[in-house]
Amino acid sequence: MNSKTVLYILKRIGLAILTIWVVITVTFFVMHAVPGGPFMGEKAISPAALKALEVKYGMDKPVFEQYLTYLKDVVTRFDFGPSLKQRGRMVTEVIGDGMRISARLGLIAAGIALVSGVVLGAVAALKRNKFIDKAIMVLTTALVSMPSFIIGTLLLILFVITLKWLPGNGASAGGLVLPVITLSLYPAAYITRLTRSSMLDVLGQDYIRTAKAKGVSKWKIIFGHAMKNSLIPVITYFGPMIAYIVTGSIVVEQIFAVPGIGRTFVSCIINRDYPMIMGTTIILATLIVIMNLVSDILYKVVDPRINFD
């Protein structure tokens, strides 16, 4: 790694921190500007009780002061505060619980999507215009255009209600099978199509022809030369995809009642659980920023021609 690369990475990290600060600031003020509040319910609580709660959680102070206190707590003590809705639990605890499940779900799904996508994409490229290529393309086109709530619901009806093979609840043993399938289908299809087109592009390059002419074996050409270069677009896609998939798919978690972070994210916004909204937003933003950074660096590893200037 040369000094240019190190400088580039440092610059990117600085930019990432700036991005996250902007996200925190914007979210904080927008969140407080939205009507309603965390202690608002169908049945109003007494003004005395409301006042007591606001004092307890420091919400009686001006918003800007609350913002500074929040920033200080997060930066100096990594303290995200307590959840206002799930009384007695800390934000980090709630997010930790949800993230463990969403991450497990997401990583398995991402792994499956990557392996199957690259394999199917390569097969399709090598078998261009043959039946198998056309079959893969039809299937992936269908999957890319079908939203996950349709796929999820179909799987739920088929495997849970009709066949009764699998549990329909993410909390039960084996309950993650259907959510994993639902979650992996779209990225798998997308990666298949990416791999196929970039593989076709690479296979048409001069250096592949040269290798062929030199009598290099077909497998060596594919795995030694073509594959590595055709994965660049996949890497660009894969980094941010992991961030999204790992931070919880709201739809899939809802359909299969998976206790992941996605459901928490939605409910904390509805409940105006301010510390939870901030916590989940920061985690999500950080992950996306990091994954983007990682995929940019991986670029360089895969393709030394890419210059960081």
Partner 1 sequence: MKKVLSLVLALLFVASFVAACAPSEPKPAEQKPTEISVCLASEPDTIDPALNSAVDGATLIAHLFSGLSKWDLDNSGKLVIVPDAAKELTKGVVNDDGTITYTYTLRDGLKWSDGQDVKASDFVFAWNRAASAALGADYGYMFDVVKGYDEVSAIDDDGNPVNPDAKLAAEAVDDKTIKVTLTTDVAYWNELLAFPTYFPVREDVVANENWATDPSTYVSNGAYKLASWAHNSLITLEKNASFVDAAEVTMDKINFYLSDDANNMLANFKKGDWQLIDDVPTNEIASLKTEFPTEFKIAGQIGTYYVCWNINENILPAGSALTGNDAEAAREEIRNAISLLFDRNYIVNDIAQGGQVPASSFVAMGLTDADGTEFYKNAGPSSSFAGYYDVADSAYTDNFNKAIEILKKYYTYDGAKFTDFPTMTYLYNTSEGHKAIGEYLQSVLAGIGITMNLENQEWNTFLNTRKEGNYSIARNGWLADYNDPISFLDMWTTVSGNNDVQFGKGASAAVKFYSLDLTGYGIDVKVENGTWAETYDVLISNIKKCADVTTRYALMHIAEDMLMKTGCLCPLYFYTDLYMIDDSVHGFFSNPLGYKYFMYTTIEK
Q: Select the span of 32-40, 196-204, 236-244, 299-307 touching partner 1 (CB under 8 A).
A: 32-40
Choose among 33, 24, 31: nearest CA to 72.
24
Q: Select the span of 110-118, 234-242, 284-292, 299-307 touching partner 1 (CB under 8 A).
A: 110-118
Q: What CA–CA distance (Å, rounded) separates 176 from 159?
A: 13
Question: For residues 94 and 232, which CB has a smaller minimum distance to partner 1 in the complex?
Answer: 94
The alpha carbon of 70 is separated from its chain's Cα centroid by a whole number of angstroms, namely 26
Among 2, 3, 33, 43, binds partner 1 (CB under 8 A): 43
- The two tokens of residue 254 are 């809802």
Q: Select the span of 162-170, 194-202, 204-212, 289-297 touching partner 1 (CB under 8 A).
A: 162-170
Q: Which residues are bridge partners to 90 per DSSP?
A: 82
Q: What CA–CA distance (Å, rounded) separates 236 from 273?
A: 34
7 binds partner 1 (CB under 8 A): no
By CB under 8 A, the count of residues binding partner 1 is: 69
110, 117, 135 from 120: Cα distances, Å: 15, 5, 11
Instruction: Give, as ranges, the residues between 279 and 308 that touch partner 1 (CB under 8 A).
Output: none
Other CB atoms within 10 Å distance of the CB of residue 75: 11
Q: For Cα atoms 162, 167, 170, give the angle at the middle one, nearest 5 degrees.
A: 135
Choose among 218, 249, 11: nearest CA to 126.
218
Q: What is the DSSP letter of 44?
A: P
Question: For residues 8 and 274, which CB has a smaller minimum distance to partner 1 in the complex?
Answer: 274
The alpha carbon of 257 is separated from its chain's Cα centroid by a whole number of angstroms, namely 18
Q: Select the span of 15-23, 106-114, 206-214, 231-239 touching partner 1 (CB under 8 A).
A: 106-114
Instruction: Give, as ranges, the residues between 167 and 226 that touch partner 1 (CB under 8 A).
Output: 167-177, 180-181
Chain residues in the site for partner 1 (CB under 8 A): 34-37, 40-56, 60, 85-89, 94, 97-98, 108, 111-112, 115-116, 119, 123, 127, 132, 153, 156-157, 160-161, 164, 167-177, 180-181, 254-257, 259, 263-264, 267, 270-272
